[in-house]
Copies of this chain bind each other. A is one copy, B any other.
Amino acid sequence: MKGKAWSGRFQEETDKFFEDFSESVSFDYVLALYEIQASRTYARALKKIGILSEEELSSLETALNDIARDIKEGRFSFSKELEDVHMNIERALYERVGEVAYKIHTGRSRNEQVVTDLRLYLREEGLNLKELMLRFIEAILTKAEQNLDVVFPGFTHLQHAQPVLFAHWITTYAEGLRWHFERLLDWEKRNNLCPLGSSAFAGCGFPLDRTFIAKDLGFDGPLLHSVYAVSSRDFVTEFLFILSLIMLDLSRLAEELILWISPEFSFIDLPDRFCTGSSLMPQKKNPDAAELIRGKASSVLGNLFQVLSLLKNLPLSYNRDLQEDKPPLFQAIKTTKTSLLMATLLIEGLVIKKERLTQLLKEGYLLATELADYLVTKGIPFREAHHITGKIVRFAEDQGKKLEELTLEEFKKFSTIIEEDVYEWLAVEHALLRREIPGGTGPQTVKTYIQSLKSQIETWKAGLKSP
Contacts and interface: CB of A to CB of B under 8 A. Distances in A.
A229 B197 CA distance: 45
Contacts of A59: none
Contacts of A158: 258-259, 262, 287, 315, 319
A387 to B, nearest CB: 4
The count of identical subunits is 4
Contacts of A330: none
A9 B279 contact: no
Contact of A301 (B111, B308, B365, B431): B308
The 10 closest A-B pairs by CB, nearest first: A8-B390, A203-B440, A6-B277, A302-B306, A295-B321, A102-B383, A102-B381, A283-B365, A291-B320, A283-B368
26 contacts: A8-B393, A10-B272, A12-B273, A15-B271, A18-B274, A22-B289, A87-B279, A107-B280, A158-B262, A172-B225, A172-B231, A172-B232, A182-B190, A203-B445, A204-B435, A206-B373, A207-B437, A234-B245, A277-B390, A282-B369, A282-B392, A283-B365, A292-B320, A294-B321, A297-B312, A299-B327
A6 B234 contact: no
B5 A383 contact: yes
A460 interface: no
Contacts of A397: 9
B281 A162 contact: yes
Nearest to A24: B292
A34 interface: no
A126 interface: no
Contact of A279 (B6, B289, B297, B438): B6
A160 interface: yes
Interface string A283-323: 11111110110111111011111111111111111111111
B225 A171 contact: yes
B282 A6 contact: yes
A interface, size bucket = 35 or more
B382 A107 contact: yes
Interface of chain A: mostly helix, strand, loop or mixed = helix
Interface string A251-283: 110111011011111100001111111111111
A14 B159 contact: no
A205 to B, nearest CB: 4
A301 B338 CA distance: 24
A264 B353 CA distance: 14
Contacts of A436: 207
A265 B162 CA distance: 18
A376 to B, nearest CB: 5
Given A179-B190, A313-B312, A382-B106, A203 B439 contact: yes
